[in-house]
Amino acid sequence: MKRDEGSNESPDAKEGVFKKKKWALYAVIGGVVLGLLGAGYWWFFMRGRVSTDDAYVVADIASISSRIKGTVSAVFVDNGQFVDKGRILIELDPQDYHVAEDKARAVVAQMQADVDSAALRVPLLDDQTKSQVQGAEASLEAAKYQVEVRNNQLAQLQKEHLSADADLAYAQKEYKRYEELYKHRSVSQEDRDRSLKRFNNAKSGLEALNDQAKGSKASIKAFEQQVRQSEAALQVARSNRKKVDIEVRQLESLKARRDQSRAELKQARLNLSYCTIKAPLSGCVAQRNVQVGDRLSVGQPIMAVVPLQVAYVEANFKETQLTHVRVGQPATITADIYPSHTYHGRVVGIAAGSGAAFSLLPPENATGNWVKVVRRVPVRIYLNEPPPPRYLLRVGLSLEVTIDIGNADKVVPEKERKKQDPA
């Protein structure tokens, strides 16, 4: 029997080769299937999304400190305790500030009394000085009027004096003529006596007018003196009127000092109220480092209040991932502490610069050798609703954040962004 030249291999060897080819085919098919599954997963679940595990829980922590110096008399909270807004945290010994308030109140009362007294003096002094000015003006007008009247009388007397002087001269001449005629017995004694009587009457009239003129001149001098006195009194009264302005200014100064003392009283009351330190917001107490009897200084940190109920997420994405990230896009968050729970939120803001740009020592890329490093930019994300108490987030916890960037073309307006931002 002749053996076929092409059948040198045994049946077992052929079966092994077939099995290898079969498993190779299975491997290829499996790889294709896995590739298709991976592509399908990426297409249906990861396409249009960016993720990062460089994300942490952040909250706007309120640092509690004392606004005044004082000794701690009571502490009402401890670390980890939840407190509502307005809850009393610490009380300081208020005795010193009670004394300061009483002292400030006494100063206010004294200043108010001074103001009331000055307020009564001003109208009284105003009325008095007005009366003085009016009286001085009336006296001056009366004295001037009397001077004018006396000058008119003197002028009239001077006119009468001229007439009387002429009458006296005529009576004297007539008397001399009758005297000569009487010596020669040309006239009777009776005519001579009548001429003498007329002469004496004219002389007496002239002397009377001279006396009246002297009296008028004396009166004029007296009233002129009175005019000068009235003018001086008027000047004094007008000077006294300036005292009213001085009193008014003093009253304004007293009012200003009273207002200052009121402000000091208000500050004293504020300092007294600062003896009770309250929670500025609701949250959990942390970093309490104060005990009863401690002496606090102004601005000394004593504890912190963490508002966990309004905690938010700060995710640091690579700059290459932010191409299509927009404000308002939805985000899903998972925490390492609760891997089975998913939180939902939205993007509310993208930082103005990378974290390195705002670091204490920013990079100087323009000096030395430069190596390009992909920067990370903080993205702020707010939760759609507060986390349930069972899955409450703590500040600093690590998170994994995924942002849906499928609606990148929809840019949220600034007004809408402010409405969405609960801060």
Q: Would the pTM of this model clear 0.85, i.e. be above it?
A: no
d(CA 307, CA 422): 14
pLDDT in tens, 91-120: 999 999 999 999 999 999 999 999 998 888
Q: What is the SS3 assignment for 292?
A: coil
Between the alpha carbon of residue 164 and those of residues 154, 168, 172, 178, 290, the distances in Å are: 15, 6, 12, 21, 118
Please tell me the predicted confidence (pLDDT) of residue 218: 75
The Cα–Cα gap between 325 and 402 comes to: 11
What local confidence, expressed as pLDDT, does residue 14 receive?
A: 62
pLDDT(340) > 70:
yes
Question: What does the pLDDT read at residue 263?
Answer: 95
Report how far apart the first and last C-alpha atoms of the chain are (Å, whole number).
99
Query: Strand, coil or helix: what is 337?
Result: coil
Output 194 or 283, whichever has higher pLDDT. 283
Q: What is the per-residue pLDDT across 381-409, written as a single tens digit (0 to 9) for each?
A: 999 998 888 998 999 999 999 998 876 55
Give pLDDT tens digits for 286-328. 999 999 999 999 999 999 999 988 899 999 999 999 988 999 9
Distance (Å, whole) CA 58 – CA 197: 136
pLDDT at 5 (0 to 100)? 45
Q: How confident is the model at residue 423, as a pLDDT? A: 43
* Pairing label, strands 82-83, 283-286: antiparallel
- The maximal CA–CA distance of the chain, rounded, in angstroms, is 240
Which residues, in sequence order, are bridge partners of residue 75? Answer: 90
